[in-house]
Structure 1
Amino acid sequence: MKSPEFPITDDHIHIDPVNGRGVEAAKDFFRAGGTHLFLVSLPSWTLGIHPSTGADYARVFDETLRVAELVATTGVVVFPVLGVHPAEITRLMERMPIADAVATMQGGIDCAARYVQEGRAVALKSGRPHYDVSPEILAASNAVLAHALACAADCGCALQVHAETGPCSDIADLARRAGVPVKRVVKHYASPDTPLHPSLIAKHEGIPDLIKSGRPFTMESDYMDSHERPGAVIGPKSVPRYTRQLLAAGTMTEEDCFRIHTETIQDVYGVTISLS
């Protein structure tokens, strides 16, 4: 196979050898021209794990790191992102009071932060439900998110945020109060109107305008890798394929490509992107 000409990075992807295609999906990414990916930990229940304490999330994170090692055998450079999916609060409240659910999720984020501090992951993930919830659950979720921002500040790392559609401007205020640079708070599945760092689904209609504006952004597939939802959200080839389409159309220059897939990634996450 021909060596890639330039880095192409997927900012948010899931690979699941148990419930999905696993390494074969990573191979598709690589064959399409993808070089680097941010492997995001899955919700605990998809792995058959049902945490009762924060420490129980270590099983989720260890599985993510195991998968990262498998994916790395394909030639792709893997950056693990660990955390607690915001929808966990709904699941946990089926088994415990809301205060205990918050404590469990915050403990899970503390656990993930230790992996970052040990150099085994590069960033944290948190957020709040993207679906309608009661004011009580929303307040509890924001408390979990605020804790995650505090942990990101302590670790000096980025935080990927899973939240409702829209700008989520209040999260920028939470980040400032926690001492986290807003550019390091990544709005996963973003829209261009967010003041946070936007990670846009490849093929988002706003990408050409963002390229023209020069505003920093990244691209993701949010590929779920589930046999029950094949190709959701979009497939593992999507980021490299769309990047090459933009280059072929003249909408993106090679300089733009380097800025999006290399410089911006390095600036947000503090990692090194290289083909060597």
Structure 2
Amino acid sequence: MKLPAIPITDDHIHIDPLNGRGIEAAKDFRRSGGTHIFLVTKPSWSSGIEPSSGEDYREVFERTLRVADDIREVGVVVYPVLGVHPAEISRLAGRMGLEEAAGVMMAGLDLAAAYVQEGAAVALKSGRPHYEAAPEVLAASNAVLYHALELGADCGCAVQLHAESGPCIDVLPMAKRAGIPVERVVKHFATPDTPLVPSLIARHEGIPALARAGLRFSMESDYMDENARPGAVVGPKSVPRFTRRYLEEGLITEEDAWRIHAGTPSRTYGVEISLP
């Protein structure tokens, strides 16, 4: 069965020419039927940068934007998502203390928001550690996350959350207080029970049933593009291939696919996703 003429969108992917396959991975995505990606900033240390101020994230963001330009050359529509990985708090706090680390991360998010306001990016990335962390680290991380939500409200943009596995229900009142619609808060690597917008790993076994139930969600690979971890989390071909399989086996309809790959991300990010 030939894949219907529909957009295929990866809601969270990294392309890293420095540490991984780079543009070749993007070509794999394109050859497999992929059309659109949300290209997410990697942690600062992936670029060999150890930030001491918010301004130090500029080169991290600029590298992401340069990669985005290169990917566009191979025929993929790219929407950059810029921000500060929540795991940075552990590395930064080891060098400068927790309070200063949180301040540097917030300043980095301020810089990311400036790129969004200029139209260079479409969303922010933030969150909190997905690993066990001390209460004071979690409190500082939630303060950083809340700052990101406030920035999202100010910019009128979406915020992608990298956080612990689970529904993250406590983010709902945080979003309300910050003034950002929950429809613009994305739980990356989500579980379906989240009240936020779920972005589900392409191999998630519940996708067909969730699609038939009309749940609004997107799909992602969370491809890290690191030679040290080839194929992690799943490869760049995964979103197109799983979508094709679900369609071929009649597990989802063409209408479901349009909702997953165009309707939901278009509404969430305020972009227009259509066939290139």
Normalising by the smaller structure, the TM-score range is over 0.9
1:4 is displaced (CA, Å) by 7.3
Q: How does 1:176-191 map to 2 (within 5 A)?
A: 176-191=176-191
Partner of 2:59: 59
Does the CA-based 8 Å contact 1:55-1:107 persist in structure 2?
Answer: yes
4+ aligned runs moved over 4 Å, structure 1? none
CA distance in 2, matches of 1:169, 1:96: 31
Would you say 1:78 and 2:78 are equivalent positions?
Answer: yes
Does the CA-based 8 Å contact 1:7-1:35 persist in structure 2?
Answer: yes
1:5 is displaced (CA, Å) by 1.5
Partner of 2:220: 220
Q: Which amino acid aligns with 2:45?
A: W
Secondary structure of residue in 1 paired with 2:164: coil
Percentage of pairs with the same residue = 66
Does the CA-based 8 Å contact 1:4-1:35 persist in structure 2?
Answer: no
- Give per-residue Cα distances to partners, 1:82-103, cap 9 Å, x unaligned: 0000000000012101110010
- Give per-residue Cα distances to partners, 1:27-48, cap 9 Å, x unaligned: 0000000000000000000110
Would you say 1:141 and 2:145 are equivalent positions?
Answer: no
Would you say 1:37 and 2:44 are equivalent positions?
Answer: no
CA distance in 2, matches of 1:51, 1:221: 28
- Give per-residue Cα distances to partners, 1:226-258, cap 9 Å, x unaligned: 000000000000000000000001111111111
CA distance in 2, matches of 1:68, 1:212: 33
- Give per-residue Cα distances to partners, 1:130-187, cap 9 Å, x unaligned: 0000000000000000000000000000000000001100011111111111111000
Distance 1:136 1:104, change over 3 A: same
Comparing 206-215 with 183-192, which one deviates more in the overlay? 206-215
Does the CA-based 8 Å contact 2:8-2:240 persist in structure 1?
Answer: yes
Q: CA RMSD in A?
A: 1.1
Q: Which amino acid aligns with 2:36?
A: H
CA distance in 2, matches of 1:210, 1:144: 32
CA distance in 1, matches of 2:126, 2:249: 36
Comparing 158-167 with 249-258, which one deviates more in the overlay? 249-258
Partner of 1:109: 109
CA distance in 2, matches of 1:176, 1:151: 13
CA distance in 1, matches of 2:141, 2:201: 24
Q: How does 1:1-276 map to 2 (within 5 A)?
A: 5-276=5-276
Unaligned runs of 5+ in 1: none
Secondary structure of residue in 2 paired with 1:102: helix
1:275 is displaced (CA, Å) by 1.9
Unaligned runs of 5+ in 2: none
CA distance in 1, matches of 2:20, 2:4: 26
Does the CA-based 8 Å contact 2:4-2:254 persist in structure 1?
Answer: no
Residues paired across the two proteins, number: 275
Secondary structure of residue in 2 paired with 1:95: helix
Does the CA-based 8 Å contact 1:13-1:37 persist in structure 2?
Answer: yes
CA distance in 2, matches of 1:209, 1:177: 33
CA distance in 1, matches of 2:106, 2:186: 19
Does the CA-based 8 Å contact 1:262-1:273 persist in structure 2?
Answer: yes
* TM-score (ref. length: structure 2): 0.98
Distance 1:159 1:97, change over 3 A: same
Does the CA-based 8 Å contact 2:10-2:239 persist in structure 1?
Answer: yes
Q: Which amino acid aligns with 2:64?
A: T
Q: Which amino acid aligns with 1:132?
A: E
Does the CA-based 8 Å contact 2:3-2:244 persist in structure 1?
Answer: no
Distance 1:248 1:8, change over 3 A: same
Does the CA-based 8 Å contact 1:4-1:33 persist in structure 2?
Answer: no
Q: Which amino acid aligns with 2:70?
A: L
1:272 is displaced (CA, Å) by 1.0
Comparing 11-20 with 207-216, which one deviates more in the overlay? 207-216
